Structure 1
């Protein structure tokens, strides 16, 4: 069994005492806090080369702002960690998209065409409640440090979101995680021979096909739940990062499957009717199935009284959906 350590935000990979780096943006994310309709944002960019003077931050209400990095940390791995700070007061409550653009990515990314000439456009969402609302204060999920990854078995790579989750209002926050498209022109999901999926805040990648640098985006959607059927959207947080795959990771050993989906859903893809089949070791009485779209929005709730329950999904738009029954998860495609 092999063991390697991969740092996926500082994004260098150790091989026998050496490390590999390249010019450009290696990773980026954004933390957000809201209180009394005032939002503070920290944009973090891991960059090789000269420090960038400023970025343009779009607050999503028609206001844009040029902000400069108040803090730059020169990491021992040869990257700059640039932190850009912004603060903004919203006149009206609502859901806002906070975004920024930056150029250029590291050159030679396998799943982004001509990556060295491409920019990123990171867009997070935040629900700003009225200043008198009970929900007005919120710390959105905060990506921490440099997420660590490890090759835990032959050919299986595991890496993590590394997220600080701040509970509010008696631990009523819930998170949904998904592998989302990397926000850059020319991006495609990495190729694989077995599976590439996220299970909670952990991403599993079995048997990559080719060596090189790969771009990933792991998205966290935050909700405030008083019950599974009563969900209020709070925020989305995207973590953009690169992973370096060496030839030693390209192996052909047969592994046990990763239990990504714990619910059996059929037919899949489905058109009008979907059957939700529960694991046989749980009792179905009065359990609720909650169906979310890939934006993390709750689109349907169904009470389950049997091990197999048929659900009408004909009114749902085509796309990928997630089904949750308490701690059990499944995914299906609506066509």
Structure 2
């Protein structure tokens, strides 16, 4: 099974102000420490990761040095790749959080797990928004702050750990956009609560995947496909063109749009209609320089191949040009469940590209419904 790439990031000063009545930690860390406050964030992350012990062999850990992650992973007996170095004995700042998060994201993580409070969530959200990744990169917070108004945190550290454990096992885990909120701590210390919306990030959500419309029979399958089609069509961007891969799930989208489809071929469309049909690999490369392009694909049922079987028109050159962020995957949950935990397969003929494409992808499985699933 493909290792689950987990970025572990701790804001060691999160929650410091709570025990010494400072109502938070923003800009008062040194004062809190002087009053005798003890850091709790590492312990909170430790609680979360302890639930994942049985699956450590399937997790590739990445972190920052010292109190921002490496110390507690060493305590857990984990060998981690340290991608950001702190100055010895330095008191960390928001800049350290941003720099460490950037290093972890640059390395390619399937999930960024961070311990902190609303200020930490704001810092990471700002970074992702600046990179145009807030709706794509999956993150999850371990609650360690005095105030937790944001929806990107687990209810408890253990709850966050349970979600990570599910992902490490290759279980189907849904994803959703969650709000980042924070309050004005100066006003809060004066007894006034002023919460503000700062953005949204994508988080994994542990659900029991009972598909209400999945009851067997072709008629019910069509209802599921209708939901997938509705979700994709709602997301279509008029400024973008879409390469439509082969397979019946993609064909259902084309039928819903009223467009002619090449079932075993690859077509190019936009919101207005079919641009070109049954394109070759070289023809696709000629088309993608004209405007923003996304690729729409589904996997082969039972086998799990996403690339390399039945869609060789999607060349390594094309996939490298588009990048993982421009790949849209459609599939029913029953098709994913039939893989029995096996990852989807990329067999492009370019081993380096297959490695680069590996990771966890959001998969549209219904209307306003998607799950995260690994590609190997």
TM-score (structure 2 length as normaliser): 0.27
The structure with more strand, counted as a fraction of residues = 1
The structure with the larger Rg is 2
The structure with more helix, counted as a fraction of residues = 2
TM-score (structure 1 length as normaliser): 0.30
